[in-house]
Amino acid sequence: MSIYVESVLTFTSITCITVCGLYILTGLTGMFSLGQASFMALGAYAAAVLGKLYHWPFIPCLLVGIILSVVTGFLSGYPIMRLRKEYLTLITLCYGEAIIALLNQSNITGGALGMSDIPKHTTLIIAILFLIFGIYFAWCFRHSKFGRMAIAIKSDELASKSMGINMAAVKMRSFLCAAGLAGLAGGLYAFYLQYVDPSLFGWRKSGEWVAWVFFGGVNSLTGSIVATFGLSALSQFFSRFADYQVLIYSAMVLLVLNFKPNGVFGYWELSDLFNTRDRRMQRLLKEAQTREGALKHEQT
């Protein structure tokens, strides 16, 4: 594999980890964040500072990055979880830009020049392994009570609360999961690129990721992942026509969203292929029989 292809794949895999978080935040919970890149920045800078200046090993650096993202996510998210969803978009935008501004001023991280000579720990294999973890995380989230409650909140806040769902807690949980995954991706990013500077993590990045999620299908994890790989590969390809790149790219996204508002994949998941409705129904009924059998057993 050429070095070029390998680097494209690695960067895309890392970005896709953030997109898994966005699937939870935007796809399941219906919240828009334009500050995801700044959570990635926190992860990246934590990794850079600890790995380069303090010579920490790989995994602890990533963990600190995740914790830092989650904690700042909690502090910035706490006041706004009870407000309407649009406010979150505004606040995350401001918050993200504030983090970038702070990093531009900070001496220890080299200000606007950033930091270079960060040790290289991430390889393509490692990136893919972490991506598999990210996908698994998002999948588990969706297929648990947390996923259901998040979708309920997205669909109808008032009815969800009337069913006993704590809306602020559900929103916060999704927000922190997304922040944590972005922090993880940031750490991997810094250890692959071996260089970070604040301009890598502006709100345009965050906006682009949200567009990917909608392009692939906001309700489909499969769609979000395929869109990430498809569109970032495409933008690499079109980089030869740099002048038209953004134009072609934007036109495609607009066309898809205009004619398929639910994105390319809609509600379809890859797992639907082998987990058909008939099979799910059979499983459910089988489980119900064991329950009734157990009840009869107790009575006799």
Partner 1 sequence: MSRLELKHVYLSFGGVKAVQDFSMQAEEGQIIGIIGPNGAGKTTIFNVISGIYTADSGQIFLDGEEITQLAQHRIALKGISRTFQNIRLFHGLNCLENVQTTLDASSKYNLLDAILMTPRRRKEEKRTRQRALSELEWVGLGEYVLENPENLSYGLQRKLEIARALAADPKVLLLDEPAAGLNPKEVQELMKLILRIRDERGITILLIEHRLELVMTVSERIYVQDFGETIAIGTPAEVQNNPEVIKAYLGEEE
Query: Based on CB atoms, which residue is closest to partner 1, 123 or 155?
Result: 155
CB of 143 to partner 1, least distance (A): 8
CB of 236 to partner 1, least distance (A): 33
- With beta carbons less than 8 A apart as the criterion, state whether 121 and 65 touch: no
List residues near partner 1 by CB under 8 A. 136-137, 140-141, 144-146, 148-149, 151-152, 154-156, 158-167, 173, 177, 219, 267, 277, 280-281, 284, 287-288, 291
Query: Based on CB atoms, which residue is closest to partner 1, 102 or 284?
Result: 284
Cα 19 to Cα 34, 201, 247: the distances in Å are 12, 14, 23
DSSP state of 116: E
CB of 294 to partner 1, least distance (A): 11
* Partners of residue 195 on adjacent β-strands: 116
CB of 158 to partner 1, least distance (A): 7
Query: Based on CB atoms, which residue is closest to partner 1, 86 or 156?
Result: 156
Query: Based on CB atoms, which residue is closest to partner 1, 207 or 266?
Result: 266
Distance CA 249, CA 246 (A): 5
Find the DSSP H helices in the chain: 3-22, 36-48, 58-77, 85-105, 124-142, 145-155, 157-162, 167-193, 203-216, 221-238, 242-259, 277-299
Query: Based on CB atoms, which residue is closest to partner 1, 107 or 164?
Result: 164
CB of 133 to partner 1, least distance (A): 9
Distance CA 27, CA 32 (A): 9
